[in-house]
Structure 1
Amino acid sequence: MKYTVLTLFPEIIDAFFASSIMAKAVSRGIVEYQPVNIRDFAQDKHHTCDDAPYGGGAGMLMLPEPLGLALESVGAAKKGDSHLFEAADTGRVIYLSPGGVPFTQELARELAQEEELILLCGRYEGIDQRIIDAYVDDEICVGDYVLSSGEVAALAVIDATYRLVDRVITPESLEEESFSGGLLEYPQYTRPEVYDTLRVPELLLSGHHENIRRWRLRKRVEKTLTLRPDLIRRGEALDLFDGETRKLIQELGGLSDEKPVESGGEKDERNTGD
Protein backbone atom coordinates (compact mmCIF):
# COMPACT_ATOMS: atom_id res chain seq x y z
CA MET A 1 0.00 0.00 0.00
CA LYS A 2 1.26 3.46 -0.89
CA TYR A 3 0.00 6.65 0.71
CA THR A 4 0.62 9.86 -1.22
CA VAL A 5 -0.34 12.91 0.83
CA LEU A 6 -0.71 16.36 -0.71
CA THR A 7 -0.28 18.89 2.06
CA LEU A 8 0.96 22.34 3.05
CA PHE A 9 2.63 20.79 6.09
CA PRO A 10 4.59 17.65 5.06
CA GLU A 11 6.40 17.56 8.42
CA ILE A 12 3.14 16.44 10.07
CA ILE A 13 2.99 13.45 7.74
CA ASP A 14 6.69 12.60 8.14
CA ALA A 15 6.34 12.46 11.93
CA PHE A 16 3.43 10.01 11.76
CA PHE A 17 5.16 7.59 9.40
CA ALA A 18 8.28 7.57 11.58
CA SER A 19 6.51 6.23 14.67
CA SER A 20 5.36 2.93 16.22
CA ILE A 21 3.84 0.13 14.13
CA MET A 22 3.71 2.36 11.07
CA ALA A 23 7.51 2.80 11.12
CA LYS A 24 7.90 -0.99 11.23
CA ALA A 25 5.50 -1.43 8.31
CA VAL A 26 7.50 1.10 6.30
CA SER A 27 10.84 -0.52 7.15
CA ARG A 28 9.47 -3.93 6.11
CA GLY A 29 8.30 -2.56 2.78
CA ILE A 30 4.62 -3.26 3.44
CA VAL A 31 3.69 0.43 3.45
CA GLU A 32 5.17 3.24 1.37
CA TYR A 33 4.46 6.94 1.65
CA GLN A 34 5.19 10.16 -0.21
CA PRO A 35 4.44 13.59 1.25
CA VAL A 36 3.99 16.22 -1.47
CA ASN A 37 4.33 19.87 -0.51
CA ILE A 38 1.65 21.80 -2.40
CA ARG A 39 3.67 25.02 -2.00
CA ASP A 40 6.30 23.58 -4.33
CA PHE A 41 3.79 24.01 -7.16
CA ALA A 42 2.77 27.60 -6.38
CA GLN A 43 3.00 30.10 -9.25
CA ASP A 44 4.70 33.05 -7.55
CA LYS A 45 7.85 33.78 -5.57
CA HIS A 46 5.90 33.88 -2.31
CA HIS A 47 4.54 30.33 -2.87
CA THR A 48 0.97 31.58 -2.48
CA CYS A 49 -1.57 28.77 -2.23
CA ASP A 50 -4.75 30.62 -1.23
CA ASP A 51 -6.95 33.55 -2.17
CA ALA A 52 -10.33 35.08 -1.29
CA PRO A 53 -13.40 33.18 -2.56
CA TYR A 54 -15.53 34.59 -5.35
CA GLY A 55 -18.86 35.79 -4.05
CA GLY A 56 -17.39 37.02 -0.78
CA GLY A 57 -17.38 35.46 2.63
CA ALA A 58 -14.91 34.92 5.43
CA GLY A 59 -11.65 33.04 5.07
CA MET A 60 -9.43 31.99 2.20
CA LEU A 61 -9.69 29.21 -0.36
CA MET A 62 -6.87 27.04 -1.69
CA LEU A 63 -5.97 27.93 -5.28
CA PRO A 64 -6.63 25.40 -8.06
CA GLU A 65 -3.35 25.81 -9.97
CA PRO A 66 -0.93 24.50 -7.30
CA LEU A 67 -3.34 21.70 -6.39
CA GLY A 68 -3.79 20.63 -10.00
CA LEU A 69 -0.05 20.60 -10.66
CA ALA A 70 0.63 18.69 -7.45
CA LEU A 71 -1.98 16.08 -8.34
CA GLU A 72 -0.62 15.65 -11.86
CA SER A 73 2.91 15.29 -10.48
CA VAL A 74 1.84 12.10 -8.66
CA GLY A 75 -0.06 10.68 -11.65
CA ALA A 76 -3.60 11.67 -10.75
CA ALA A 77 -5.70 11.70 -13.90
CA LYS A 78 -8.38 14.21 -14.73
CA LYS A 79 -11.79 12.62 -14.94
CA GLY A 80 -12.49 11.72 -18.52
CA ASP A 81 -8.80 11.90 -19.41
CA SER A 82 -7.65 8.68 -17.75
CA HIS A 83 -6.47 7.36 -21.13
CA LEU A 84 -3.56 9.78 -20.77
CA PHE A 85 -2.28 7.63 -17.91
CA GLU A 86 -2.86 4.15 -19.31
CA ALA A 87 0.78 3.21 -18.78
CA ALA A 88 0.61 3.82 -15.04
CA ASP A 89 -1.66 2.71 -12.24
CA THR A 90 -3.27 5.80 -10.79
CA GLY A 91 -4.13 6.03 -7.11
CA ARG A 92 -7.57 6.65 -5.69
CA VAL A 93 -7.82 10.39 -5.02
CA ILE A 94 -9.49 11.29 -1.71
CA TYR A 95 -10.32 14.78 -0.52
CA LEU A 96 -10.90 15.11 3.24
CA SER A 97 -14.02 17.21 3.27
CA PRO A 98 -16.86 18.37 5.54
CA GLY A 99 -19.22 17.53 2.69
CA GLY A 100 -17.91 13.99 2.27
CA VAL A 101 -19.39 10.61 3.05
CA PRO A 102 -18.90 9.42 6.66
CA PHE A 103 -15.73 7.43 7.24
CA THR A 104 -16.60 4.00 8.63
CA GLN A 105 -14.82 0.73 9.33
CA GLU A 106 -16.45 -0.73 6.22
CA LEU A 107 -15.01 2.06 4.10
CA ALA A 108 -11.62 1.59 5.78
CA ARG A 109 -11.65 -2.08 4.75
CA GLU A 110 -12.50 -1.09 1.18
CA LEU A 111 -9.74 1.50 0.97
CA ALA A 112 -7.20 -0.92 2.48
CA GLN A 113 -7.54 -3.03 -0.68
CA GLU A 114 -6.24 -0.21 -2.91
CA GLU A 115 -2.66 -0.16 -4.13
CA GLU A 116 -2.38 3.61 -3.61
CA LEU A 117 -4.39 6.32 -1.89
CA ILE A 118 -3.75 9.93 -2.87
CA LEU A 119 -4.96 12.04 0.04
CA LEU A 120 -5.63 15.72 -0.53
CA CYS A 121 -5.50 17.82 2.65
CA GLY A 122 -7.55 21.00 2.74
CA ARG A 123 -6.87 24.11 4.83
CA TYR A 124 -8.57 27.45 5.37
CA GLU A 125 -12.09 27.33 3.87
CA GLY A 126 -11.31 24.35 1.68
CA ILE A 127 -10.32 24.00 -1.96
CA ASP A 128 -11.61 25.27 -5.28
CA GLN A 129 -14.53 23.10 -6.44
CA ARG A 130 -12.99 22.69 -9.88
CA ILE A 131 -10.23 20.53 -8.40
CA ILE A 132 -12.85 18.28 -6.82
CA ASP A 133 -14.77 18.06 -10.09
CA ALA A 134 -11.65 17.32 -12.15
CA TYR A 135 -9.60 14.96 -9.96
CA VAL A 136 -11.28 13.71 -6.78
CA ASP A 137 -12.70 10.19 -6.64
CA ASP A 138 -14.03 10.34 -3.07
CA GLU A 139 -14.85 13.05 -0.54
CA ILE A 140 -14.58 11.62 2.98
CA CYS A 141 -15.60 13.11 6.33
CA VAL A 142 -14.10 11.66 9.51
CA GLY A 143 -16.75 13.01 11.88
CA ASP A 144 -19.37 15.57 12.77
CA TYR A 145 -16.99 18.14 14.19
CA VAL A 146 -14.83 20.98 12.93
CA LEU A 147 -11.09 20.63 12.29
CA SER A 148 -8.66 23.24 11.06
CA SER A 149 -6.38 20.62 9.54
CA GLY A 150 -6.93 18.25 6.65
CA GLU A 151 -3.73 16.54 7.76
CA VAL A 152 -5.37 15.34 10.98
CA ALA A 153 -8.24 13.83 9.00
CA ALA A 154 -5.87 12.25 6.46
CA LEU A 155 -3.88 10.62 9.25
CA ALA A 156 -7.11 9.19 10.68
CA VAL A 157 -7.85 7.55 7.32
CA ILE A 158 -4.27 6.31 7.03
CA ASP A 159 -4.25 4.89 10.56
CA ALA A 160 -7.56 3.09 10.09
CA THR A 161 -6.55 1.55 6.76
CA TYR A 162 -2.88 0.61 7.03
CA ARG A 163 -3.52 -1.71 9.98
CA LEU A 164 -5.90 -3.67 7.73
CA VAL A 165 -3.23 -4.22 5.07
CA ASP A 166 -1.94 -7.80 4.97
CA ARG A 167 1.04 -8.53 7.26
CA VAL A 168 0.88 -5.24 9.21
CA ILE A 169 -1.05 -6.77 12.15
CA THR A 170 -1.83 -10.42 12.85
CA PRO A 171 -5.32 -11.34 11.57
CA GLU A 172 -6.36 -12.63 15.01
CA SER A 173 -6.01 -9.12 16.45
CA LEU A 174 -8.63 -7.83 14.02
CA GLU A 175 -11.30 -10.46 14.54
CA GLU A 176 -13.16 -9.20 17.63
CA GLU A 177 -12.33 -5.52 17.79
CA SER A 178 -14.89 -2.74 17.72
CA PHE A 179 -17.26 -2.78 14.71
CA SER A 180 -16.42 -6.35 13.73
CA GLY A 181 -19.67 -8.28 13.44
CA GLY A 182 -21.63 -5.06 14.02
CA LEU A 183 -20.68 -4.75 17.72
CA LEU A 184 -18.27 -2.84 19.92
CA GLU A 185 -15.39 -4.65 21.60
CA TYR A 186 -15.70 -6.29 25.03
CA PRO A 187 -13.82 -4.95 28.11
CA GLN A 188 -10.18 -6.01 28.41
CA TYR A 189 -8.04 -6.64 31.52
CA THR A 190 -4.39 -7.41 32.26
CA ARG A 191 -2.09 -7.72 35.30
CA PRO A 192 -2.35 -7.18 38.23
CA GLU A 193 -5.46 -9.15 39.25
CA VAL A 194 -6.27 -6.45 41.80
CA TYR A 195 -5.77 -2.75 41.09
CA ASP A 196 -6.78 -0.28 43.83
CA THR A 197 -9.39 -2.74 45.20
CA LEU A 198 -10.78 -3.39 41.69
CA ARG A 199 -10.53 -7.04 40.64
CA VAL A 200 -10.41 -8.65 37.25
CA PRO A 201 -13.67 -10.59 36.66
CA GLU A 202 -13.17 -14.08 38.11
CA LEU A 203 -14.48 -15.77 35.00
CA LEU A 204 -11.53 -14.43 32.96
CA LEU A 205 -9.16 -16.22 35.35
CA SER A 206 -11.01 -19.53 35.09
CA GLY A 207 -9.41 -20.84 31.92
CA HIS A 208 -12.85 -21.97 30.70
CA HIS A 209 -12.68 -20.81 27.09
CA GLU A 210 -16.34 -21.31 26.19
CA ASN A 211 -17.57 -19.43 29.25
CA ILE A 212 -15.12 -16.63 28.49
CA ARG A 213 -16.34 -16.49 24.89
CA ARG A 214 -19.97 -16.21 26.03
CA TRP A 215 -19.08 -13.55 28.63
CA ARG A 216 -17.25 -11.49 26.02
CA LEU A 217 -20.13 -11.70 23.56
CA ARG A 218 -22.59 -10.66 26.26
CA LYS A 219 -20.40 -7.68 27.17
CA ARG A 220 -20.11 -6.69 23.52
CA VAL A 221 -23.88 -6.68 23.13
CA GLU A 222 -24.38 -4.88 26.46
CA LYS A 223 -21.88 -2.16 25.60
CA THR A 224 -23.24 -1.65 22.09
CA LEU A 225 -26.82 -1.39 23.32
CA THR A 226 -25.76 1.21 25.86
CA LEU A 227 -23.36 3.34 23.83
CA ARG A 228 -24.20 2.71 20.16
CA PRO A 229 -27.76 1.43 19.71
CA ASP A 230 -27.53 2.68 16.13
CA LEU A 231 -25.05 -0.14 15.45
CA ILE A 232 -27.56 -2.69 16.75
CA ARG A 233 -30.25 -1.27 14.46
CA ARG A 234 -27.87 -1.39 11.54
CA GLY A 235 -26.75 -4.92 12.35
CA GLU A 236 -30.35 -6.10 12.51
CA ALA A 237 -31.19 -4.40 9.22
CA LEU A 238 -28.19 -6.03 7.52
CA ASP A 239 -28.74 -9.40 9.24
CA LEU A 240 -25.25 -9.38 10.76
CA PHE A 241 -26.17 -11.18 13.98
CA ASP A 242 -26.42 -14.92 14.59
CA GLY A 243 -29.09 -16.51 16.78
CA GLU A 244 -26.99 -16.30 19.95
CA THR A 245 -26.39 -12.59 19.50
CA ARG A 246 -30.03 -11.85 18.70
CA LYS A 247 -31.10 -13.72 21.84
CA LEU A 248 -28.69 -11.70 23.96
CA ILE A 249 -30.02 -8.45 22.49
CA GLN A 250 -33.51 -9.41 23.60
CA GLU A 251 -32.36 -10.61 27.04
CA LEU A 252 -30.60 -7.32 27.66
CA GLY A 253 -33.68 -5.28 26.87
CA GLY A 254 -33.43 -4.87 23.14
CA LEU A 255 -33.86 -1.49 21.50
CA SER A 256 -36.22 1.29 22.48
CA ASP A 257 -38.71 2.58 19.95
CA GLU A 258 -36.87 5.89 19.75
CA LYS A 259 -35.18 6.35 16.41
CA PRO A 260 -31.58 7.60 16.27
CA VAL A 261 -30.89 11.12 15.05
CA GLU A 262 -29.44 11.00 11.58
CA SER A 263 -26.10 12.76 11.17
CA GLY A 264 -25.68 15.55 8.66
CA GLY A 265 -29.07 17.25 9.00
CA GLU A 266 -29.90 20.73 7.78
CA LYS A 267 -26.73 22.17 9.29
CA ASP A 268 -23.73 20.21 8.03
CA GLU A 269 -20.70 20.94 10.19
CA ARG A 270 -18.85 17.73 9.47
CA ASN A 271 -15.36 18.99 8.89
CA THR A 272 -12.22 17.10 8.12
CA GLY A 273 -9.84 19.83 7.37
CA ASP A 274 -11.32 22.93 5.80
Structure 2
Amino acid sequence: MFPERLSEVQIAVQHALDQAVARLPAGDLRDAIGYAAQGGKRLRAFLVLESAALFGISQAQALPAAAAVEALHAYSLVHDDMPCMDDDELRRGQPTVHVKWDEATAVLAGDALQTLAFELCCDPTLGPAERRVALVAALAQASGAAGMVYGQALDIAAETAAAPLTLDEITRLQAGKTGALISFAAEAGAILAGAERAPLAAYARALGLAFQIADDILDVEGDAALVGKQVGKDAQAGKATFVSLLGLEGAKSRAAALIDEAEAALAPYGAKAQNLREAARFVISRDK
Protein backbone atom coordinates (compact mmCIF):
# COMPACT_ATOMS: atom_id res chain seq x y z
CA MET A 1 0.00 0.00 0.00
CA PHE A 2 2.70 2.49 1.00
CA PRO A 3 4.83 2.20 -2.19
CA GLU A 4 1.76 2.66 -4.38
CA ARG A 5 0.56 5.63 -2.33
CA LEU A 6 4.01 7.24 -2.37
CA SER A 7 4.13 6.81 -6.15
CA GLU A 8 0.73 8.51 -6.47
CA VAL A 9 1.99 11.42 -4.38
CA GLN A 10 5.15 11.73 -6.45
CA ILE A 11 3.15 12.00 -9.67
CA ALA A 12 0.61 14.47 -8.26
CA VAL A 13 3.21 16.73 -6.67
CA GLN A 14 5.47 16.71 -9.71
CA HIS A 15 2.51 17.75 -11.85
CA ALA A 16 1.67 20.58 -9.43
CA LEU A 17 5.26 21.83 -9.41
CA ASP A 18 5.55 21.59 -13.19
CA GLN A 19 2.39 23.67 -13.55
CA ALA A 20 3.71 26.30 -11.13
CA VAL A 21 7.06 26.52 -12.92
CA ALA A 22 5.37 26.72 -16.35
CA ARG A 23 3.72 29.99 -15.26
CA LEU A 24 7.12 31.66 -14.80
CA PRO A 25 8.86 33.73 -17.51
CA ALA A 26 10.73 31.55 -20.00
CA GLY A 27 14.52 31.44 -19.87
CA ASP A 28 17.51 29.87 -18.15
CA LEU A 29 16.21 30.73 -14.70
CA ARG A 30 12.90 28.95 -15.27
CA ASP A 31 14.75 25.98 -16.75
CA ALA A 32 17.00 25.77 -13.70
CA ILE A 33 14.02 26.05 -11.32
CA GLY A 34 12.18 23.29 -13.15
CA TYR A 35 15.30 21.12 -13.20
CA ALA A 36 15.82 21.50 -9.45
CA ALA A 37 12.17 20.64 -8.77
CA GLN A 38 12.36 17.26 -10.52
CA GLY A 39 12.45 13.92 -8.74
CA GLY A 40 13.14 12.98 -5.15
CA LYS A 41 11.33 10.75 -2.70
CA ARG A 42 8.59 13.33 -2.00
CA LEU A 43 8.37 12.07 1.57
CA ARG A 44 7.65 15.56 2.88
CA ALA A 45 4.77 15.98 0.42
CA PHE A 46 3.51 12.56 1.45
CA LEU A 47 3.48 13.65 5.09
CA VAL A 48 1.49 16.77 4.21
CA LEU A 49 -1.17 14.85 2.29
CA GLU A 50 -1.46 12.00 4.77
CA SER A 51 -1.62 14.29 7.79
CA ALA A 52 -4.36 16.25 6.00
CA ALA A 53 -6.25 13.02 5.31
CA LEU A 54 -6.41 12.33 9.06
CA PHE A 55 -8.74 15.32 9.32
CA GLY A 56 -10.82 14.61 6.23
CA ILE A 57 -8.96 17.09 4.00
CA SER A 58 -8.77 15.82 0.43
CA GLN A 59 -5.59 15.52 -1.61
CA ALA A 60 -6.88 18.12 -4.06
CA GLN A 61 -7.32 20.64 -1.25
CA ALA A 62 -3.97 19.95 0.44
CA LEU A 63 -1.88 19.56 -2.74
CA PRO A 64 -0.60 23.19 -2.86
CA ALA A 65 0.88 22.74 0.63
CA ALA A 66 2.51 19.47 -0.43
CA ALA A 67 4.03 21.17 -3.47
CA ALA A 68 5.14 24.07 -1.28
CA VAL A 69 7.19 21.95 1.09
CA GLU A 70 8.87 20.24 -1.86
CA ALA A 71 9.69 23.60 -3.47
CA LEU A 72 11.21 24.74 -0.19
CA HIS A 73 13.17 21.50 0.12
CA ALA A 74 14.42 21.83 -3.47
CA TYR A 75 15.68 25.34 -2.75
CA SER A 76 17.59 24.07 0.27
CA LEU A 77 19.27 21.36 -1.80
CA VAL A 78 20.30 23.77 -4.57
CA HIS A 79 21.99 26.06 -2.05
CA ASP A 80 23.37 23.19 0.05
CA ASP A 81 25.13 21.73 -3.02
CA MET A 82 26.99 24.94 -3.87
CA PRO A 83 30.77 25.34 -3.44
CA CYS A 84 30.31 27.67 -0.45
CA MET A 85 28.31 24.95 1.33
CA ASP A 86 28.83 21.20 0.69
CA ASP A 87 30.33 21.57 -2.82
CA ASP A 88 28.50 18.60 -4.36
CA GLU A 89 28.44 17.85 -8.07
CA LEU A 90 25.63 15.27 -8.04
CA ARG A 91 22.07 15.43 -6.74
CA ARG A 92 19.44 12.79 -7.43
CA GLY A 93 21.87 11.20 -9.87
CA GLN A 94 22.16 14.35 -11.99
CA PRO A 95 24.60 17.29 -12.11
CA THR A 96 23.79 19.89 -9.47
CA VAL A 97 22.31 23.19 -10.61
CA HIS A 98 25.52 25.20 -10.20
CA VAL A 99 27.38 22.59 -12.26
CA LYS A 100 24.79 22.41 -15.04
CA TRP A 101 24.39 26.21 -15.18
CA ASP A 102 26.54 28.40 -12.91
CA GLU A 103 26.66 29.60 -9.32
CA ALA A 104 24.69 32.78 -9.92
CA THR A 105 21.86 30.88 -11.60
CA ALA A 106 21.87 28.36 -8.74
CA VAL A 107 21.52 31.13 -6.15
CA LEU A 108 18.64 32.70 -8.05
CA ALA A 109 16.91 29.38 -8.74
CA GLY A 110 17.07 28.55 -5.03
CA ASP A 111 15.73 31.97 -4.11
CA ALA A 112 12.87 31.57 -6.57
CA LEU A 113 11.95 28.11 -5.28
CA GLN A 114 11.83 29.46 -1.75
CA THR A 115 9.46 32.27 -2.67
CA LEU A 116 7.40 29.89 -4.79
CA ALA A 117 6.85 27.78 -1.67
CA PHE A 118 5.23 30.69 0.16
CA GLU A 119 3.18 31.60 -2.89
CA LEU A 120 1.82 28.05 -2.98
CA CYS A 121 0.94 28.25 0.72
CA CYS A 122 -1.33 31.19 -0.12
CA ASP A 123 -3.40 29.21 -2.64
CA PRO A 124 -7.12 29.70 -1.80
CA THR A 125 -7.63 25.96 -2.36
CA LEU A 126 -6.06 25.38 1.03
CA GLY A 127 -8.98 26.93 2.90
CA PRO A 128 -9.76 30.01 5.01
CA ALA A 129 -7.25 32.86 5.07
CA GLU A 130 -6.41 32.37 8.74
CA ARG A 131 -5.38 28.75 8.08
CA ARG A 132 -3.20 29.81 5.15
CA VAL A 133 -1.54 32.49 7.29
CA ALA A 134 -0.85 29.86 9.96
CA LEU A 135 0.65 27.59 7.30
CA VAL A 136 2.91 30.37 6.01
CA ALA A 137 4.04 31.21 9.55
CA ALA A 138 4.80 27.56 10.32
CA LEU A 139 6.79 27.11 7.11
CA ALA A 140 8.76 30.29 7.77
CA GLN A 141 9.61 29.15 11.29
CA ALA A 142 10.60 25.67 10.11
CA SER A 143 12.79 26.88 7.28
CA GLY A 144 14.36 30.02 8.75
CA ALA A 145 16.99 31.10 11.25
CA ALA A 146 15.47 29.02 14.06
CA GLY A 147 14.90 25.93 11.88
CA MET A 148 16.49 24.56 8.73
CA VAL A 149 18.82 27.51 8.08
CA TYR A 150 19.93 27.44 11.72
CA GLY A 151 20.78 23.76 11.39
CA GLN A 152 22.81 24.45 8.27
CA ALA A 153 24.68 27.23 10.06
CA LEU A 154 25.55 24.84 12.88
CA ASP A 155 26.72 22.29 10.32
CA ILE A 156 29.05 24.81 8.66
CA ALA A 157 30.40 25.98 12.03
CA ALA A 158 31.16 22.38 12.98
CA GLU A 159 33.60 22.09 10.09
CA THR A 160 36.05 24.45 11.81
CA ALA A 161 35.19 23.69 15.43
CA ALA A 162 38.02 22.80 17.80
CA ALA A 163 36.43 19.45 18.65
CA PRO A 164 33.93 17.13 16.96
CA LEU A 165 30.30 17.64 17.90
CA THR A 166 28.82 15.65 20.75
CA LEU A 167 25.73 13.48 20.31
CA ASP A 168 23.52 16.17 21.85
CA GLU A 169 25.00 18.79 19.53
CA ILE A 170 24.46 16.67 16.43
CA THR A 171 20.91 15.99 17.53
CA ARG A 172 20.26 19.73 17.91
CA LEU A 173 21.87 20.45 14.53
CA GLN A 174 19.82 17.85 12.70
CA ALA A 175 16.59 18.84 14.45
CA GLY A 176 17.00 22.08 12.53
CA LYS A 177 18.66 21.07 9.28
CA THR A 178 16.52 18.01 8.55
CA GLY A 179 13.89 17.69 11.24
CA ALA A 180 12.28 21.13 11.12
CA LEU A 181 10.92 20.77 7.59
CA ILE A 182 9.79 17.21 8.25
CA SER A 183 7.95 18.49 11.33
CA PHE A 184 6.23 21.18 9.28
CA ALA A 185 5.14 18.59 6.72
CA ALA A 186 3.74 16.19 9.30
CA GLU A 187 1.88 18.95 11.15
CA ALA A 188 0.55 20.67 8.02
CA GLY A 189 -2.68 18.68 8.00
CA ALA A 190 -3.47 19.69 11.57
CA ILE A 191 -2.68 23.32 10.71
CA LEU A 192 -5.06 23.24 7.75
CA ALA A 193 -7.74 21.65 9.89
CA GLY A 194 -7.22 23.96 12.88
CA ALA A 195 -6.68 20.83 14.96
CA GLU A 196 -4.39 19.78 17.82
CA ARG A 197 -0.83 19.33 16.54
CA ALA A 198 0.87 17.64 19.51
CA PRO A 199 0.61 13.96 18.42
CA LEU A 200 1.86 14.76 14.91
CA ALA A 201 4.63 16.94 16.36
CA ALA A 202 5.83 14.01 18.50
CA TYR A 203 5.66 11.70 15.48
CA ALA A 204 7.64 14.15 13.37
CA ARG A 205 10.38 14.75 15.95
CA ALA A 206 11.15 11.04 16.12
CA LEU A 207 10.76 10.56 12.37
CA GLY A 208 13.05 13.48 11.48
CA LEU A 209 15.86 12.23 13.70
CA ALA A 210 15.49 8.67 12.40
CA PHE A 211 15.60 10.02 8.84
CA GLN A 212 18.95 11.74 9.48
CA ILE A 213 20.41 8.69 11.20
CA ALA A 214 19.37 6.66 8.16
CA ASP A 215 21.14 9.22 5.95
CA ASP A 216 24.31 8.84 8.01
CA ILE A 217 24.06 5.06 7.64
CA LEU A 218 23.61 5.41 3.88
CA ASP A 219 26.74 7.55 3.73
CA VAL A 220 28.59 4.50 5.07
CA GLU A 221 26.73 1.60 3.46
CA GLY A 222 24.93 3.20 0.52
CA ASP A 223 25.56 2.72 -3.19
CA ALA A 224 26.22 6.09 -4.86
CA ALA A 225 24.32 4.92 -7.96
CA LEU A 226 21.20 4.38 -5.86
CA VAL A 227 21.66 7.26 -3.43
CA GLY A 228 22.16 9.67 -6.33
CA LYS A 229 25.06 11.54 -4.75
CA GLN A 230 28.56 10.89 -3.49
CA VAL A 231 28.77 8.67 -0.40
CA GLY A 232 31.53 8.40 2.18
CA LYS A 233 32.03 12.17 2.34
CA ASP A 234 31.42 12.41 6.09
CA ALA A 235 34.16 9.92 6.95
CA GLN A 236 36.58 11.51 4.47
CA ALA A 237 36.01 14.90 6.10
CA GLY A 238 36.33 13.51 9.62
CA LYS A 239 32.82 14.75 10.34
CA ALA A 240 31.03 13.64 13.51
CA THR A 241 27.84 11.77 12.67
CA PHE A 242 25.42 9.47 14.44
CA VAL A 243 27.38 6.54 12.99
CA SER A 244 30.77 7.86 14.13
CA LEU A 245 29.45 8.42 17.66
CA LEU A 246 27.12 5.44 18.09
CA GLY A 247 28.76 2.94 15.76
CA LEU A 248 26.95 1.42 12.79
CA GLU A 249 24.88 -1.07 14.79
CA GLY A 250 24.21 1.47 17.52
CA ALA A 251 22.94 3.96 14.95
CA LYS A 252 20.65 1.34 13.43
CA SER A 253 19.27 0.45 16.86
CA ARG A 254 18.67 4.11 17.69
CA ALA A 255 16.87 4.67 14.40
CA ALA A 256 14.65 1.63 14.99
CA ALA A 257 13.79 2.84 18.50
CA LEU A 258 12.86 6.25 17.12
CA ILE A 259 10.52 4.67 14.60
CA ASP A 260 8.81 2.82 17.46
CA GLU A 261 8.36 6.21 19.15
CA ALA A 262 6.97 7.73 15.98
CA GLU A 263 4.44 4.94 15.54
CA ALA A 264 3.36 5.16 19.17
CA ALA A 265 2.66 8.88 18.78
CA LEU A 266 0.08 8.07 16.10
CA ALA A 267 -2.10 6.04 18.47
CA PRO A 268 -4.81 8.75 18.74
CA TYR A 269 -5.53 8.43 15.01
CA GLY A 270 -5.99 4.66 14.94
CA ALA A 271 -6.18 2.92 11.58
CA LYS A 272 -6.38 6.25 9.72
CA ALA A 273 -2.67 6.74 10.33
CA GLN A 274 -1.53 3.46 8.79
CA ASN A 275 0.15 5.15 5.82
CA LEU A 276 2.08 7.39 8.20
CA ARG A 277 3.21 4.32 10.16
CA GLU A 278 4.43 2.71 6.95
CA ALA A 279 6.22 5.92 6.00
CA ALA A 280 8.11 5.74 9.29
CA ARG A 281 9.27 2.21 8.55
CA PHE A 282 10.28 3.25 5.05
CA VAL A 283 12.56 5.94 6.46
CA ILE A 284 14.97 3.41 7.97
CA SER A 285 14.65 0.71 5.29
CA ARG A 286 15.30 2.89 2.21
CA ASP A 287 18.41 2.49 0.06
CA LYS A 288 18.51 6.07 -1.20
Larger CA Rg, structure 1 vs 2: 1
Q: Which has the higher contact order (CA 8 A, sep 6+)?
A: 1
Higher-strand-fraction structure: 1
The structure with the largest helix share of the pair is: 2
TM-score by length of 1: 0.26
The alignment's TM-score, normalised by the length of structure 2, stands at: 0.25
